Amino acid sequence: MVTRCEVLAIGAHPDDVELGCGALLARLAAAGRAVGVADLTAGELATRGTPVVRRAEAAAAAAALGVAWRTCLDLGDGALAGAAPVRLVELIRGARPRVLLGPHGDDPHPDHADAARLVARASFLSGVANAFPDAGPAHRPGLVLLYAGPRQLLEPDLVVDVTACYTHKREALACFASQFGGDGPATHLASGFFLAAVEGRDRAWGNLIGVELAEGLACPGTLAADELAWLLGG
Q: What is the DSSP string of 169-224?
A: HHHHHHT-HHHHSSSSS--STTSSSHHHHHHHHHHHHHHHTTSS-EEEEE-SS---
pLDDT at 120: 97
d(CA 231, CA 234): 7
pLDDT digits (tens, 9 = 90+) for 113-128: 999 999 999 999 999 9
* Nearest in space to 59 (alpha carbons), one of 165, 179, 172, 150: 172
Domain count, the chain: 1
Whether residue 151 contacts residue 201, with contact meaning beta carbons closer than 8 Å, is answered with: no
Domain contains 227: no
Domain contains 201: yes
Domain contains 53: yes
Find the CATH number of the domain harbouring 174: 3.40.50.10320
d(CA 194, CA 77): 22
pLDDT digits (tens, 9 = 90+) for 214-228: 999 999 988 999 999
Instruction: Using the Cα atoms of residue 70, residue 73, residue 76 and residue 80 in order, give the sign of their dihedral.
Output: negative
Domain contains 176: yes
Domain contains 1: no
Q: Which residues, including other chains, have CB under 8 Å from residue 188's CB and lie 6 or more apart?
A: 194
pLDDT at 221: 87
pLDDT at 183: 77
If one counts every other C-beta atom within 10 angstroms of the C-beta of residue 128, the result is: 12
Range of 73's domain? 7-219
Domain contains 224: no
What strand order describes the sheet that includes 99-103?
69-72, 35-39, 7-11, 99-103, 143-147, 214-218, 158-161
pLDDT at 184: 80
Domain contains 59: yes
**Intervals of the chain under pLDDT 70:** 1, 234
**What is the pTM (predicted TM-score) of this model?**
0.96
Domain contains 226: no
- What 8-state DSSP symbol labels residue 133? G
